[in-house]
């Protein structure tokens, strides 16, 4: 009939109906922001915590390690718990526990208290990431899932980058306890909205593969301990690291063999062995290395080599987040018309180019190259996140979303831990090598007009101070060279990834529909 309004597509309906979808999405974003911030926000406050809690430099790191270890231990149980007690109950319960433990962390008066509270906080946080992604898929129509995912993805990518800056600012302006208390003004209103509006999937009496869960948890804890403590223990020169590696590999092998033959595995083979989903997991590892791994060491470069204060360092990191937001919004608008594999390849190419520009940095430059490189890198990485998720989930039935989101979160966390560990180790080794090379040229043979050692001896205490300043500058130059080497290495890693999206199948139709053809 002329002038009639077209009927709505009956297939374009959300899995879970809810009132005020926009308000509920804002609450989910609020929870995601505080959860992802907490992965990195406490790092810069550790020296202040150490003095307040009476801890040593070695033991204070358990504030970070306990959060990570407890998270990876319970993360594989997310899908089972969601089915068993209901997705609404799990998410609201985890949010409440996260906020309560945030308050307890801020009020802690001893290191044992802090470690216990951080471990409980890590357990709660582990459920929030995959569940928030699952709810964004469930409450949005397939035609709007790409837009919802782009907003959530911006949170996932930007929050870890912002953590050190926000943590440093709060510590300087107030005190270290506010790196935990800051969760409450955001989280409490979000919890109220979740209680009001959040729907739930039906409860499913799903059996738990207890042995498989224990073996996978053991493997993940062993691997995480190895990555967290390997550099400190000089890797495999330490018996502890060797034991952690053997435990991780043995438990993982047992888990894989067990899952192959058990009737009710922790993760269904139909999901795990889907080619697109496996490819998505691999890309999540790369994303964790390049986004969180790199962003965790850049503030140290800006503060220690370029001598920028904490607030300025945060401002210099901001263009990276701005670039991410811009291209995520762009990807949301063009994903229906452009093959997502093109977006991933182009995104990684742009990010690799940004790392090449970073290898051209000099130690006496101003802030402009830092801003430009960060903006370019953000533009590249912003094109990658949403297409990876859409392609990975394109062939999965809706009832696999929670388990799928769990594994995507797990592999992104593995990539982050691996990236941080490798970059920090390479920085330490290359700094030591470069320091030796540079110091070897600061001699009377290379400086015939000035023998540093003789001059220092003649000047007494002033000469000793002069040698200290000279050594400090040599260390600064050596650290800078080590950072350039790391940028060069990461750039080649990203270039190697550029053609790999074309091994996957293209998702056609609306994002979220299980309609995929091979090309």
**Tens-digit pLDDT profile for residues 346-405:** 999 999 999 999 998 888 888 899 999 989 988 888 888 778 877 887 777 777 777 888
pLDDT for res 121: 92
Torsional sign, CA 254, 256, 261, 263: positive
d(CA 173, CA 185): 17
* Residue 510 pLDDT class (50, 70, 90 cuts): very low
Nearest-angstrom CA–CA distance, 489 and 503: 24
CA gap 501, 334 in Å, rounded = 18
CB-hemisphere CA count at 13 Å for 43? 19
509, pLDDT greater than 80: no
Work out the mean pLDDT of the chain and round it to a whole number. Answer: 80
On the question of pLDDT at 503 being above 80, the answer is yes
- The pTM for the full model equals 0.77
Question: CB–CB of 69/224 below 8 Å?
Answer: yes
The pLDDT score that the predictor gives to residue 459 is 55
| Residue 442 in this model has a pLDDT that exceeds 50 | yes
pLDDT at 136: 83
pLDDT given for residue 206 in this prediction: 80
Q: How confident is the model at residue 131 (pLDDT cuts 50, 70, 90)?
A: confident
**pLDDT computed for residue 210 by the predictor:** 85
Q: Is the pLDDT of residue 515 over 70?
A: no
pLDDT reading at 487 higher than 60: yes
How confident is the model over 252-302, as pLDDT tens digits? 899 888 888 887 887 877 777 778 888 888 888 888 887 777 777 787 788
Inter-residue contact 139 to 16 (CB < 8 Å): yes
Please tell me the predicted confidence (pLDDT) of residue 413.
Answer: 80
Tell me the mean pLDDT in the region 110-138. 87
pLDDT tens per residue, range 454-471: 555 555 555 556 556 666
What is the arithmetic mean of pLDDT over 95-123? 91
User: What is the percent of the chain with per-residue pLDDT over 70, rounded to a whole number?
Assistant: 88
pLDDT above 90 covers what percent of the chain? 11
The predicted model gives 507-514 an average pLDDT of: 47
Q: How far apart are CA 472 and CA 466, in angstroms?
A: 10
Among residues 129, 48, 148, the alpha carbon closest in space to that of 416 is found at 129
Rg (CA), the chain: 25
pLDDT of residue 73: 84
Helices 401-439/385-393 angle, 10° precision: 140
- Supply φ then ψ for residue 309, to 5 degrees: -70, 170
CB distance 139 to 401 below 8 Å: no
pLDDT single digits (tens) 192-218: 999 998 888 888 888 888 888 888 888
pLDDT at 349: 93
Torsion, Cα of 14, 128, 27, 120 (10° steps): 150
Residue 82 vs residues 21, 124, 139, 209, 441: alpha-carbon distances, Å: 21, 13, 16, 15, 62
Rounded Cα distance, 476 and 482, in Å: 10
Query: So what's the pLDDT on residue 455?
Result: 56
Highest mean pLDDT among 109-113, 184-188, 307-311: 184-188
Q: Which residues contact 300 (CB under 8 A, 6 or more apart)?
A: none
> 516 in helix, strand or coil?
strand
pLDDT of residue 98 exceeding 90, the answer is: yes
Dump pLDDT digits (tens) for 401-437: 778 888 888 888 888 778 878 887 888 888 888 777 7
Distances (CA, A) of 155 to 32, 88, 150: 7, 21, 9
8-22, 41-55, 458-472: least confidently modelled range: 458-472
């Amino acid at each position: 009939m002329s002038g009639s309004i077209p009927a709505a597509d009956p297939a374009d309906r959300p899995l879970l109906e809810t009132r005020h979808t926009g308000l509920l999405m804002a609450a989910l974003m609020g929870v995601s922001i505080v959860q992802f911030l907490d992965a990195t926000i406490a790092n810069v406050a550790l020296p202040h915590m150490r003095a307040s809690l009476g801890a040593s430099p070695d033991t204070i790191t358990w504030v970070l390690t306990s959060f990570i270890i407890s998270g990876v231990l319970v993360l594989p149980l997310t899908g089972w718990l969601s089915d068993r007690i209901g997705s609404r109950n799990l998410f609201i319960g985890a949010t409440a526990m996260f906020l309560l433990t945030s308050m307890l962390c801020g009020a802690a008066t001893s290191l044992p208290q802090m470690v216990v509270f951080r471990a409980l906080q890590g357990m709660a946080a582990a459920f929030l990431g995959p569940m928030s992604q699952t709810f964004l898929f469930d409450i949005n129509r397939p035609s709007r899932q790409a837009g919802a995912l782009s907003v959530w993805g911006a949170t996932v990518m930007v929050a870890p980058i912002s953590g050190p800056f926000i943590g440093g600012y709060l510590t300087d302006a107030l005190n270290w306890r506010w790196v935990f208390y800051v969760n409450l003004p955001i989280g409490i209103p979000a919890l109220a909205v979740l209680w009001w509006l959040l729907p739930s999937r039906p409860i499913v009496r799903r059996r738990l593969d207890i042995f498989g869960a224990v073996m996978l948890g053991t493997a993940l804890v062993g691997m995480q301990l190895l990555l967290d403590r390997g550099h400190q223990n000089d890797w495999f020169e330490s018996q502890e690291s060797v034991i952690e590696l053997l435990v991780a590999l043995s438990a993982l092998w047992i888990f894989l063999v067990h899952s192959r033959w058990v009737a009710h595995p922790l993760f269904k083979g139909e999901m795990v062995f889907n080619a697109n989903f496996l490819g998505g997991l691999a890309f999540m590892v790369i994303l964790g290395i390049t986004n969180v791994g790199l962003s965790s060491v850049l503030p140290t470069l800006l503060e220690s080599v370029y001598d920028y204060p904490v607030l300025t360092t945060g401002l210099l990191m901001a263009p990276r987040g701005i670039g991410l937001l811009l291209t995520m919004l762009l990807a949301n608008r063009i994903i229906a018309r452009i093959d997502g594999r093109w977006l991933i390849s182009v995104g990684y190419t742009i990010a690799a180019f940004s790392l090449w520009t970073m290898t051209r940095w000099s130690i006496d430059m101003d802030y402009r190259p830092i801003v430009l490189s960060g903006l370019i890198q953000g533009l590249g990485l912003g094109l990658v996140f949403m297409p990876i998720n859409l392609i990975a989930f394109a062939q999965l039935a809706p009832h696999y979303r929670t388990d799928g989101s769990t594994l995507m979160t797990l592999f992104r966390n593995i990539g982050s831990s691996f990236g941080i560990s490798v970059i920090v180790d390479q920085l330490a080794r290359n700094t030591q090598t470069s320091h030796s090379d540079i110091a070897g040229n600061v001699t009377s043979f290379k400086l015939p007009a000035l023998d540093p050692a003789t001059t220092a001896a003649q000047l007494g205490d002033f000469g000793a101070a002069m040698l200290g300043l000279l050594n400090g500058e040599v260390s600064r130059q050596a650290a800078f060279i080590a950072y350039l080497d790391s940028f060069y290495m990461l750039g080649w890693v990203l270039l190697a990834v550029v053609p790999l999206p074309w091994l996957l199948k293209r998702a056609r139709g609306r994002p979220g529909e299980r309609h995929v053809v091979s090309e």
